[in-house]
Amino acid sequence: MVRFTLAELAIHIGAQLENAPPELRVGNIATLIRATEQEVSFYTNHLYRKDLFKTKAAAVILASKDRHHCPVPTLVMNNPYLGYARAACLFHPKVVEPAGIHPLAYVSRHAHYPDNVSIGAYSVIKDDVTLGSGVVIGNGCVVENDVEIGDDSHITSNVTLCRGCKIGKRVLIYPGAVIGSDGFGLANDRGRWVKVPQLGHVIIADDVEIGANTTIDRGALDDTVIGEGAKLDNQIQVAHNVQIGAHTAIAGCVGIAGSTKIGQYCMIGGGVNIAGHIEIADKVHITGGSIVYQSILEPGVYSSGVPLETNQHWHKNFHRFKWLDEMARKLQSLEARLNKLEE
């Protein structure tokens, strides 16, 4: 187990150590209620105030406004959640995969790669694939023709990268993701569907993360593009020709229809549905479960949907919903009559 003094930890996470022996060594980070005297914890949510009062941690990472509620030493910083992330990375450094090609992997003799790549068992690397320095390909992956993967990217197990995908540097793709499958393009010929060839590619910039079982379709003519530093959670559907701006974060189970453009520094909550051929401005925050069917041209927080209620009340409200138009017309008529009477 890697251990650090509280003074070293404070420097690493950018915090101010208060009321603590700087030479005390800690070896892990844990929740407030489970942390021991050899571990640190963090506090970011007032719902855990009771746990803060009871914590046995060696020190707690928290904001200045909460320091007086803490019974143990503190590591004070403006963004304690960032401190938690930095501390967790320090105590649990990334595992470095050994370089080499597993004997059960297939690598085309027409692929291009340096000696320090790692390719796992049962993976298939096809013709004209180019792998950068330090690339890791997990077990059971398929990397199709003409794919490029930048330096230090990590493709975990059972990922499929379809033909022509361009993956940047330090990209992390989790198990089951499919990048570059055909978009949903169909033309109707007298009741029968005719497939529209998908001729574009998927371009993923540097420092992107893509969650498990997320699918990103190739473009129909132009490319589908994921911008630098974007973070995509699990089970997201990104349709053809979508563009996602730099440093945008998208939570799980979001569906994005084709040719939509999402700006930079956006945050999109879980279960959001986004219609096709619209634009979303930079720094837009869409709360979970919303349905977006028109462009959002100004930054801000946006929500839609009906909050949860009992089934009985929902049925009553839904029944009345059908009469909203008629009720609105009656209200307008009554307002007009009232205005005449007042005149």
Known catalytic residues are 240
250-284 per-residue burial string, b: 16 or more CB within 10 A, e: under 16: bbbbbebbbbbbbbbbbbbbbbbbbeeebebbeeb
Euclidean distance between CA atoms 149 and 131, whole angstroms? 5
Burial of 68 (0-12, 13-18, 19+ CB in 10 A): exposed
Tokens of residue 282, six digits:
């930079």
* Residue 20 DSSP symbol: S
- Longest pairwise C-alpha distance within the chain: 92
3-class state of residue 50 by DSSP: helix
CA Rg, the chain, in Å? 26
Euclidean distance between CA atoms 269 and 98, whole angstroms? 37
Euclidean distance between CA atoms 207 and 133, whole angstroms? 15
3-class state of residue 106 by DSSP: strand
Report yes or no: 158 and 175 within 8 Å, Cβ to Cβ.
yes
The full length of the chain comes to 343
- List Cβ neighbours of 201 (8 Å cut-off, separation of 6 or more): 164, 165, 166, 180, 218, 219, 223, 224
Euclidean distance between CA atoms 123 and 134, whole angstroms? 17
Residue whose C-alpha is closest to residue 57's, from 38, 44, 76, 70: 38
Annotate 212-268 with DSSP letters as a single string: TT-EEEPPSSS-EEE-TT-EE-SS-EE-TT-EE-TT-EE-TT-EE-TT-EE-TT-EE
